[in-house]
Amino acid sequence: MLVWISMGLLLGGIFLGARPSWRLLKTWRARQVAVQAQESATQQRWAEAFEKASAAWQLSPNDGQVLRTLARLHTDLDMEQALSFWAALLATSQATDDDAREYVRTAIRLNRMDMAQNVMLRLLQESPKDSVVLELAAEWCARKGNRPAALNYARQSCASQPDNTSARLLLARLLMASSGAEEMAEAGQNLWQLAKRQGSESLQAMELLSQMPGMSPADTQQLLAFISSHPKITETDQLLALEVEIQLQPQTRNQRLDELVEKHRKDGVQQRLEAGRWLNRQREYKRTLDLFSLEDSLQRQDLFLVRMDALAGVHRWDEVSRILKSRKVPLEPVFVELYMARAAKELNDPLIASAHWQRLRSMATGQPMALWYTARYAEKIGERAEARKIYDQLAQQPATTRSACAALIRMMEEEGDTVGLRNLMQRLIELYPLDPSPHNDLAYLDLLLGENIVTAKEVALHLVANQPELLSHRTTLALACLRLNDATAARNAYQGIQINWTLALPGWQAVYASVLAANGENQAARELTQQILLERLKPEERALLQTHVQQAR
């Protein structure tokens, strides 16, 4: 009997010990597959890369390396789902400072300033003198429309690390956005210093210099000489040199462009492709059409898309439609439907356009990459209702639910659809009941709409008790107290936390300004209101300001 007991304990120990070993084996395998996914992405075999990355995630969904691979893969394709994977990575113990920076960088690129807020503020608190963090803060503030703060952070970044060329280029862009002579002169001085170098940053500086207004003929001539003699000049840079040359001698424009087309007709495919893209940017669509024939464009997808862009540029939509219907084009069927929908819209045939959108959504079912592309394209051409339908379709798929909802949130905010936002938050709470963010957002939106005020306050009190450091929770609590006509409690909602209000989101600034006014701090309320980007406010936030701050004047 003791033998069996001992044997049972031994076998039990083996099997109990096998569990962590099996998990380690799965993690090891997941990381191997993640590396393969990265290799596929490097070679731009995107479908294969996504398939392998998804397999790695299924093997080990919480491993940092796997999450990082998925985040980078989605980031490379500007897919909003990237933020979900970066956020999941940051929630693990395997996240690095570089991961936090990449999360913010991705949020900025996807125009999700709200999602960057908490991580950006944490980075500034932890590394207030780090040049890269300061540069990120400058770009974040610039995209939020807070130009003074953006300039301040860009200058700090350059002072912290004078060799940070990307920060210097960002500072120059910010200065160029000004109409002031002094700031424009400072931008020019920065760019000329960078242009004299031999690295890739000098070519970027030259491109910015070519866009500077009021450049003298002598400076333009010097810029042309810099570009032409640069040791790393590419086909794109040669086209930039031609652009500068035409600026210097505008009377030669037609001649030089005719020479360009004639020269590139005899060149290889890549040179013609670059020239075609450049001509389209110059709105020289007819010359693009002269550069390569329809038959040439049907051999390659990139050439075909350049030719289609040129036809669109000259409004030959009937020809676009005819080609897509009658020829075997180098596009996947779902994208043929997309461009057919665009052509039908431009030809004022909404019923046909709607039919193509419907077929597109049906064909793209189970193809998240295609759906993301078509949704963004629909937004770009003003088909926002169709974009919403596609994001709704993505929201039904577990792997893309959160990212699709994030896209819908962005669209609803842009459209001032507060009721739609509130309904979406209710749906997110059902999907993610343990996530505090949608609970807070639902309470905040209810308060803006003047509904469920007592319940919203209870939610806010609970959230502040659990995460007192989050300004979003404090703002909801303050708004709840304000709606209940308890101005003192609204003011006290911000006690015990240091806040840089110049960096807060416009809606939060509006609530705080209203709280200040309700407590008789009218001067402070007016000063803060002057900083608020009113066009970024929801209609109800604007009304809140009008009720409290304007009445206090």
Return the CATH number at 464. Answer: 1.25.40
Taking the CB of residue 129, how many other CB atoms lie within 10 A of it?
12
CA distance 132 to 154: 10
Does an H or E element contain 438, and which? Answer: helix 436-449
In a domain, 193, yes or no: no
Say which amino acid occupies 506. P
Count of domains forming the chain: 1
In a domain, 63, yes or no: no
In a domain, 27, yes or no: no
In a domain, 374, yes or no: no
pLDDT 10s per residue in the chain (553 long)?
A: 333 222 333 333 333 344 455 455 656 666 666 676 666 656 666 566 666 667 766 666 777 777 888 788 777 777 777 888 888 888 888 889 999 999 999 988 887 887 888 899 899 999 999 999 999 999 999 888 888 889 999 999 999 998 888 899 999 999 888 767 888 888 888 888 888 877 778 888 888 888 888 778 888 888 888 888 777 777 887 888 888 888 878 898 999 999 889 988 888 888 889 999 999 999 999 999 999 889 989 999 989 999 999 999 999 999 999 999 988 999 889 999 999 999 999 999 999 999 999 999 999 988 888 898 899 999 999 999 999 999 999 998 877 787 788 889 989 988 999 999 999 999 999 988 888 889 999 999 999 999 999 999 999 999 999 989 888 999 999 999 999 999 999 999 999 888 888 888 899 999 999 999 999 999 999 999 998 988 889 999 999 999 887 765 4
CA distance 280 to 307: 9
pLDDT digits (tens, 9 = 90+) for 294-328: 998 999 998 999 999 999 999 999 999 999 998 89
Within 13 Å, how many C-alpha atoms sit on residue 182's CB side? 0
**Are residues 459 and 441 in contact, defined by beta-carbon separation less than 8 angstroms?**
no
Say which amino acid occupies 247. Q
CA distance 415 to 278: 34
CA distance 101 to 104: 5
DSSP letter string, 21-41: HHHHHHHHHHHHHHHHHHHHH
**Are residues 106 and 75 in contact, defined by beta-carbon separation less than 8 angstroms?**
yes
In a domain, 390, yes or no: no
| Contacting residues for 540 by C-beta, under 8 A, at least 6 apart | 418, 448, 449
Tell me the whole-structure pTM to 2 decimals. Answer: 0.69
Both tokens assigned to 381: 């051409």
**Are residues 76 and 106 in contact, defined by beta-carbon separation less than 8 angstroms?**
no
In a domain, 493, yes or no: yes
Q: Is 69 exposed, middle or buried (0-12, 13-18, 19+ CB in 10 A)?
A: buried
Q: Where are the alpha helices (DSSP H) in 110-180?
A: 113-126, 131-144, 147-160, 165-176
CA distance 544 to 517: 11
CA distance 355 to 43: 36
Q: Which domain holds residue 551?
A: 432-440+448-553
Both tokens assigned to 317: 């939509």
Give the three-state DSSP class for 135: helix
Does an H or E element contain 202, and which? Answer: helix 200-210
In the block, tokens 């709409």 appear at 449
pLDDT digits (tens, 9 = 90+) for 394-452: 998 877 787 788 889 989 988 999 999 999 999 999 988 888 889 999 999 999 999 99
Say how many residues make up the chain.
553
CA distance 87 to 449: 30
In a domain, 519, yes or no: yes
In a domain, 174, yes or no: no
CA distance 276 to 492: 61
Give the three-state DSSP class for 521: coil
**Are residues 290 and 259 in contact, defined by beta-carbon separation less than 8 angstroms?**
no
